[in-house]
Amino acid sequence: MRMSECEITDELIKEKIQDVVVFMCNECGQGSANTAGVARIGYDPSIRIIRVQCTGQIGPIQIMDALNNGADAVACVGCCLGACHFFNGNVLSMHRIKLMKKLFKELGYSDQFVNQYTSRAAEGETAVGDFEDIIERLSTAIKDEGTIKDGC
């Protein structure tokens, strides 16, 4: 819809994905990213991790700040459901992201620019799986509706 007429190739999309801001919680989130690092499981270099106390700490302000400053997508990665180290921060964040998705839809953007994930500190694959999913969803969103920058 919002893309120019020229054909969108996968390379073009890959070029367009430069910065994906991922808020990871102090516990399982960054723990799993560390484990992924130790296990040398590669992922897209556009993933930029910001370490926060809990995903429940991330609100619309941070998400909008990131997008406003040029991020292509934002994601929150917390502990598994029921395993939040602060009780329910991941659930709170999940509800918040759901609302954000609705807001994005209403504004006319794809709802794939914000996502919430969980991971396990002991398993690096979970974090990398999350990262791959972020990129995949973002690629599809860009293909269908253009980047958030184009729509601005």
Partner 1 sequence: MAAKDNKIKETEEVEGVAIAEDSEEPRIGVFVCHCGHNIAGTVDVAEVAKYAKTLPNVIKAEHYMFMCSKPGVQMVKDSIKELGVNRTVVASCSKNQHGKTFARAIEEVGLNKHRHQQVNVREYDSWVHQKEKEKATQKAMRLVEAGVNRARKLEDVETRRIPTTKAALVIGAGIAGLRSAFDMAELGIPVYLVEKESTIGGHMTRLNKTFPTLECPQCSISPLTNGVANHNLIELYTNAQIKNIEGSLGNFEVEIEIKPRYVKDNCTSCGDCAANCPVELPNEWDMGMSMRNAIYKAYPQAIPATYVRDKKDCIECNTCINVCPVQAVDFSMQPETKTVKVGSIIVAVGYDEYNPAEIEPYHYGQEGYEDVITQLKLERMLSPTSLTNSEVLRPSDGKIPKNVVMIQCVGSRNDQVGNQYCTGVCCKFAIKNARIIKEMYPDTVVSICYIDIRTPGLNFEELYKSAQEIGVRFIRGRPSEIIKDPISGELRVIVEDTLSQTPLKLKADLVVLSAAMVPPEGIGPLGSKLQILRSKEGFLKEFHIKMNPTLSSKGGIFLAGAIQGPKDISETVAHAGNAAALAAAPLVKGYIEREMLIPSIDYDLCVNCGLCKTVCAPAAIDIDENGVPVVNEIACKSCGMCMPVCPTGAIQLINFSDDQLLDEIIAVSGGGAVCE
Range list of H helices, 18-123 = 28-38, 60-68, 89-107
Query: Which residue, 95 or 105, is less far from partner 1 as judged by CB?
Result: 95
CB of 14 to partner 1, least distance (A): 11
Name which of 74, 86, 79 is nearest 31 in CA terms: 79
Residues that bind partner 1 (CB under 8 A): 18-19, 21, 30-31, 33-34, 36-38, 40-43, 45, 48-54, 56-62, 65-72, 82-83, 85-89, 92, 96, 149, 152
Query: Which residue, 1 or 42, is less far from partner 1 as judged by CB?
Result: 42
Helix (H) or strand (E) holding 12: helix 10-16
CB of 114 to partner 1, least distance (A): 13
DSSP summary character for residue 77:
E
